[in-house]
Amino acid sequence: MVFFAKKPLFRRAKKKEIPSGLWLKCSGCGELLYKKTVRENLQVCPKCNYHFTMSAYERIDLVLDAGSFREMAKEMTSRDPLKFKGPSEYPDKIKKDQKATGLKEAAIIGEGTINGKRVALGVTDSRFIMGSMGSVVGEKITRIIEHAEREKIPLIIVSGSGGGARMYEGLISLMQMAKTSAALKKLDESGGLFISVLTNPTMAGVMASFASLGDVIIAEPKALIGFTGPRVIQQTIKQDLPEGFQSSEFLLEHGFVDMIVPRSDLKERLSKLIGYLS
């Protein structure tokens, strides 16, 4: 007698592995989102309008005419004036963030056009040591302010800085607050226009200096804006904070910012403001 092996009626399909890095979770609504969809939507959640962090160069592409940007002081990098010692030494931290972001420092400055209008533009990037302000960031911001004054063109600074004065540089870093503010005072006296754009997050020394000194202050929706984080304030004063404290919407209601502009409308709004106020 011959026995034949029975063929299985069903075959189990091989499980296909989903490539990693294709999805992200929205910090606003918790929705699982396809990264390509978010990128095509200007890094904004299509479900709840949460604005994700953008890199400095992405922001430049967002607001300037294509191909118009001419970068200045590109090769400037920070030194280690205090020979800072700690769990992570300052030069190592700089090299790590340079490799991770492709940037030399946390600020990028240059000139370009918005709908054909010349502008001086500075952008800080929170991915590089939280966008904190050391000597190079302060110098770059001061240079672009002075460039706007010399050329008689509007100045726009887009701030994305969760860190304030950079502790690795001590007093040298703190001096940049006064330095950038003094440069803006001269720009104002010359009749120059400064539009400050606040993104999530804009905090501490950056917020306490150039970011809060705009003739017009624009904020992105639901951005965290303030000096010290709400948790630290609450622990210090031992009181509950108002709902939405330090959000763009709270600050608009209390007169600290002039308008909230979604990312998709930012370029056109800047163009209209420049046309009205220049």
What's the confidence (pLDDT) of residue 246?
76
Q: Cβ(198)–Cβ(248) under 8 Å?
A: yes
What confidence tens digit (pLDDT) does each residue in 72-99 have?
Answer: 998 898 888 888 877 888 898 899 999 9
Residue 174 Cα distances to 15, 50, 127, angstroms:
56, 32, 20
* C-alpha closest to that of 266 among 110, 74, 59, 33: 59
**What is the structure's pLDDT at 217?**
96
pLDDT by 10-residue block (mean), the chain, 278 residues: 55 55 77 77 77 86 94 90 83 91 92 96 91 90 97 95 82 91 96 94 86 94 79 69 75 90 93 91
Helix, strand or coil for residue 126? coil
Please name which of 167, 174, 215, 170 lies closest in space to residue 192, comparing C-alpha atoms: 215
* Model pLDDT for residues 14-61, shown as the tens digit of each residue: 555 545 578 778 877 777 887 787 786 778 887 777 777 788 899 999
Q: Residues in the chain, how many?
A: 278
* Gyration radius of the chain's alpha carbons: 23
| Cβ atoms of 218 and 259 closer than 8 Å | yes
For 2, other C-beta atoms within 10 Å of its C-beta total 3
- Count of CB atoms within 10 A of residue 62's CB? 16
The one-letter amino acid code at 123 reads V
Residue 113's closest CA among 151, 157, 168, 66?
66
The span from the CA of 29 to the CA of 45, in Å, is 9
List the beta bridge partners of residue 197.
158, 218
Q: Does domain 54-277 have CATH number 3.40.30.10?
A: no
DSSP letter string, 6-55:
PPPSS-PPPPPPPPTTSEEE-TTT--EEEHHHHHHTTSB-TTT--B----
Taking the C-alpha atoms of residue 47 and residue 45, their distance in angstroms, rounded to an integer, is 5
Which token pair is 163? 């860190």
User: Tokens at residue 39, please?
Assistant: 């990128």
**HSE of 110 in the Cβ direction (CA atoms, 13 Å)?**
20
Note the pTM of the prediction, 2 decimals: 0.82
Residue 208: its H or E element? none
Q: What is the structure's pLDDT at 42? A: 75
pLDDT value of residue 258: 94
**pLDDT at position 214:** 94
Q: What stretch(es) of the chain map to CATH 3.90.226.10?
A: 54-277
- Measured distance CA(232)–CA(136) in Å, rounded: 28
